[in-house]
Amino acid sequence: MTEKRLIPNTFGIPAHARVYAEYTSLEELRALLQTYKSERLLHIGAGSNLLFTKDFDGVVLHSRICFARALEEDAEGVNIEVGAGIVMDDLIAQVADMGLYGLENLSHIPGEVGASAVQNVGAYGVEAKDVIREVHAVAVESGEECVFSNADCRFGYRDSIFKNEWKGQYIITSVVFHLSKQPQPRLDYGNLRQALAGKEPTPMNIREAVIAIRKQKLPEPAELGSAGSFFKNPIISPEHFQTILQQEQKTEAEIPHFETADGIKIPAAWLIEQCGWKGKRQGGAQVYEKQPLVIVNTGNATAQDIITLAADITESIEKRFQITLHPEVNYI
């Protein structure tokens, strides 16, 4: 536990917590919750989806609960319980090396296991909810340990009940994933199938292909601060999509889109690029030249630079396409 410490975040925006505390067990977490029960609390993972607008006048908690153990196992697959403090990509590397399918498409996304369930992280046609069986958590108010099923978590697109009705009420301590021993490759998103041409779609080969693609498009946070994808991909009605086709005088083949149960998903990156934002700057913040879905800190960005740039992008897309972009990033 430390006083007045810089809060880790992948944007690299300096912000201090009045108290920063880490814990390695349920008992330590309960003790911290009791000690600081009257304080303003913020629980973070790796800080990969946070934009700090100022110092945090309260207590920042961070999990160091790091374990992985196999639970039920049969010929089809295995349930693995994983501590919330484990780096998600480290877990994926380990299970891919074991030949287990399910998480490989999520490779190289910054963040930790606990946050993957809060955010329902996703990439290349896979979301964390697809393989989460249970979420174990501690109630902030009582310290009681709770177990939630996949259905309890009400997962949605980059969303869960932990971001909404239960925000701030529970701290995730571990997640149970169900991983398959049988081949279940998901290759139909982006150019993943093309990247695997000539290779067997093993979990490790898929992981390596995903990492190669992401490195071509996305900056490494250690080199150029960012939160990865800044905006969610919007989902619109089929009628709205037809209106855009007419307005832009394009065919369906000319506008990237994906049919979902809720409507038509259009890549936010395409919308941003169409409005001319690729490479544009606001102070020290810039729309990344290789992937317009990413806003980067070029070295001296303030939180306000990033907020202003994101607001200007949102306004221009609303005006042209009548689509409102929503950030994945949480402003603190």
**C-beta separation of 51 from 11 below 8 A:** yes
**C-beta separation of 157 from 232 below 8 A:** yes
**C-beta separation of 52 from 15 below 8 A:** yes
**C-beta separation of 11 from 46 below 8 A:** no
**What is the set of active-site residues?**
158, 229, 328
Signed CA dihedral, 271, 214, 9, 118: sign only: positive
Spatial distance between the Cα atoms of 52 and 173, rounded to a whole number of angstroms:
24
Amino acid letter for position 130? D
Distances (CA, A) of 122 to 41, 103, 105, 106, 264: 27, 10, 8, 6, 17
Element at 93 (helix H, strand E): helix 88-97
Looking at the chain, list the stretches that DSSP marks H as alpha helix, in order from N- to C-terminal side: 26-35, 88-97, 113-119, 192-195, 203-217, 238-248, 268-274, 303-321
